[in-house]
């Protein structure tokens, strides 16, 4: 029996959360090694981190780094990356959009209060005028349940993660997007995802002040 993937990261969302989402949606059990400052130094010193950075995932005999490389590998391994090059290109484009949106949200806890307030307004504006209209239109144009190829893909999982993150900032963010509302409900009720959304799962809560302080200490920010 193959060993479970082992995830090395802090005890919070960050760049590892999308990896947790993808593995969970694929029905893959994984282990987590939560790092402190001394653990990061040890990983760096023993050559485990190709570019001296986490996330790092031990999977299939590799110590994989770089978030996108890890996500691409998992998506390909578990048949969540389309049936051909063209579908993969669409998945990549959709994922890059949600990555941009979630990147803006991930930066918020590390910002001063006045800057944070302005950026929440900007994120809300971008989500509702730049990003969500694209996904709403995609679902409308092809009339299918999923973004690409009428089959669950990495793009769908990433979009659900982005929707839930933006709803933490503005609960009615999907009010003008009925197809995305239906998409969210359907995706959230898929057995593997429903399990991941339950209390006690490996899904991490929104970052609080303690988590921010821990990250600042570990990474010397």
Q: What CATH number is associated with residue 32?
A: 3.40.30.10
Counting residues of the chain whose pLDDT is more than 70, the rounded percentage is 100
Residue 190 backbone class (left: φ over 0; alpha: ψ -120 to 50; beta: rest): beta
Number of domains in the chain: 2
User: What's the half-sphere exposure (Cβ side, CA atoms, 13 Å) at 144?
Assistant: 11
First to last CA, the chain: 40
What integer best gives the mean pLDDT of the chain? 96
**What are 62's strand-pairing partners?**
59
Same domain, 120 and 178: yes
pLDDT at position 118: 96
Domain annotation covers residue 127: yes
pLDDT band at 151 (very low <50, low <70, confident <90, very high): very high
The residue whose two tokens read 């504006």 is: 125
b (16+ CB within 10 A) / e for 108-128: bbeeeeeeeeebbeebeebbb
Identify the CA nearest to 193 among candidates 207, 181, 183: 183
pLDDT band at 17 (very low <50, low <70, confident <90, very high): very high
Residue 45 pLDDT more than 80? yes
Same domain, 106 and 183: yes
Counting residues of the chain whose pLDDT is more than 90, the rounded percentage is 95
Same domain, 154 and 205: no
Tokens of 89: 């290109």
Sign of the torsion angle spanned by Cα atoms 85, 89, 92, 94: negative
Same domain, 100 and 178: yes
Crossing angle of the two packed helices 85-107 and 113-126, in degrees rounded to 10: 150
Q: Do residues 166 and 117 make contact, with C-beta atoms less than 8 angstroms apart? A: no
Same domain, 90 and 159: yes
| Span 128-142, pLDDT tens digits | 999 999 999 999 999
Domain range spanning residue 20?
A: 6-78+197-219
Residue 53 backbone class (left: φ over 0; alpha: ψ -120 to 50; beta: rest): beta
Q: What CATH number is associated with residue 116?
A: 1.20.1050.10
3-state secondary structure (DSSP) of residue 57: strand
Same domain, 172 and 135: yes
How do 6-9 and 31-34 pair as beta strands? parallel
Residue 221 pLDDT more than 80? no
Average pLDDT for 24-43? 95
Same domain, 32 and 90: no
Contacts (Cβ under 8 Å, ≥6 apart) of 36: 218
Same domain, 16 and 110: no
Domain annotation covers residue 1: no
Instruction: Say how far apart CA 189 and CA 145 lie, in whole Å.
Output: 13
Same domain, 179 and 94: yes
| Span 60-95, pLDDT tens digits | 999 999 999 999 999 999 999 999 999 999 999 999
Domain annotation covers residue 103: yes
Instruction: Say how far apart CA 204 and CA 16 lie, in whole Å.
Output: 10
Same domain, 90 and 57: no
Domain annotation covers residue 60: yes
| Span 153-165, pLDDT tens digits | 999 999 999 999 9
Domain annotation covers residue 149: yes
Same domain, 105 and 40: no
pLDDT at position 1: 58
Instruction: Evaluate if pTM is beyond 0.85.
Output: yes
Domain annotation covers residue 93: yes
Same domain, 100 and 46: no
């Amino acid at each position: 029996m193959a060993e479970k993937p082992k995830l090395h990261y802090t005890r919070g969302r960050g760049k590892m959360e999308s990896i947790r989402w993808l593995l969970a949606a694929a029905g893959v059990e994984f282990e987590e090694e939560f790092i402190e400052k001394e653990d990061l130094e040890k990983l760096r010193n023993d050559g485990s981190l190709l570019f001296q950075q986490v996330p790092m995932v031990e999977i299939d005999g590799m110590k994989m780094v770089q978030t996108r490389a890890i996500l691409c590998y998992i998506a390909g391994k578990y048949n969540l990356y389309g049936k051909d090059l063209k579908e993969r290109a669409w998945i990549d484009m959709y994922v890059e959009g949600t990555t941009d949106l979630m990147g803006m949200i991930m930066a918020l806890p590390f910002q001063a209060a006045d800057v944070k307030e302005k950026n929440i307004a900007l994120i809300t504006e971008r989500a509702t005028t730049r990003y969500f209209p694209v996904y709403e239109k995609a679902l409308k144009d092809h009339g299918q349940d999923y973004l690409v190829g009428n089959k669950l893909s990495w793009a769908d999982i990433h979009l659900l993660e982005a929707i839930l993150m933006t709803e933490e900032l503005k609960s009615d963010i999907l009010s003008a997007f009925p197809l995305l509302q239906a998409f969210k409900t359907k995706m959230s009720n898929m057995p593997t995802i429903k399990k991941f959304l339950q209390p006690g799962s490996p899904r991490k809560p929104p970052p609080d002040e303690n988590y921010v302080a821990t990250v600042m200490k570990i990474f010397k920010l």
